[in-house]
Amino acid sequence: MEVLVIHGPNLNMLGKRDPKVYGSSTLNEVDAFIEGYFKKVKVDFFQSNHEGEIIDKIQQADGMYSGIVINPGAFTHYSYAIRDAIEAISIPVVEVHISNIAAREEFRHQSVISAVVKGTIAGMGIYGYVLAVQAIAHHHKRI
C-alpha cells in the first residue's frame, strides 16, 4: 500500500513559522516521523506553495496511490480548484491540519475541502498525519 502526503503552502517553513502554533519540527522531521511510524505502508511526500502543482499531483495520484493525506494550508479556506480536483478522483483523501483551525482566527474556521474528503483531522499536531495514514489503511483494511 502506498499513500501520498501533500503539504501545501508555507509548510516548508515548519520549524521556523510560529512554533507555538505549528511546533518546532521541520518539514523533513515531520516526514521522517510519519515514514518511521509505518512498516507496511510506503509513504511518499510532496510539498508545494503553488495551487496548480498541488492540483496536478492530486490528479496524478489517482490510481497510483491507495490514498492521499493533504494539509492544504491556507488553500483550505478558498481553493475550490483543489476541492474540485479531490472530488474528481476515486481514491480516499484525508485532510489534516497541525493546529485546530476551528480554535484560530475566524477566517480559518471554514474549510472548502472538508465536504469532499473522507475525513478531517485537526489540532493533533504532527500526529494527525499518522492518524490520517492509519485511516486510509483502515479504509483499505490493511491494518
CATH superfamily, region 2-139? Dehydroquinase, class II (3.40.50.9100)
Which residue in 7, 65, 97, 129 is the catalytic one? 97
pLDDT tens track for 11-51: 999 988 777 767 778 999 999 999 999 989 999 999 999 99
> Could you give the angle at the alpha carbon of 61 between the alpha carbons of 128 and 57, nearest 5°?
85
Looking at residue 103, its pLDDT comes to 58
Residues lower than pLDDT 50 in the chain = none
**Residue-level pLDDT at 23:** 72
Distance, CA of 103 to CA of 122 (rounded, Å): 10
Residue 93's pLDDT is: 99
Amino acid at 105: E
Q: Which of 7, 22, 65, 129 is catalytic?
A: 22
Domain ranges of the chain: 2-139
The residues pairing with 44 across neighbouring beta strands, listed in sequence order, are 4
> What's the confidence (pLDDT) of residue 94?
99
Active site residue 97: yes
Distance of alpha carbon 68 from the chain centroid: 7
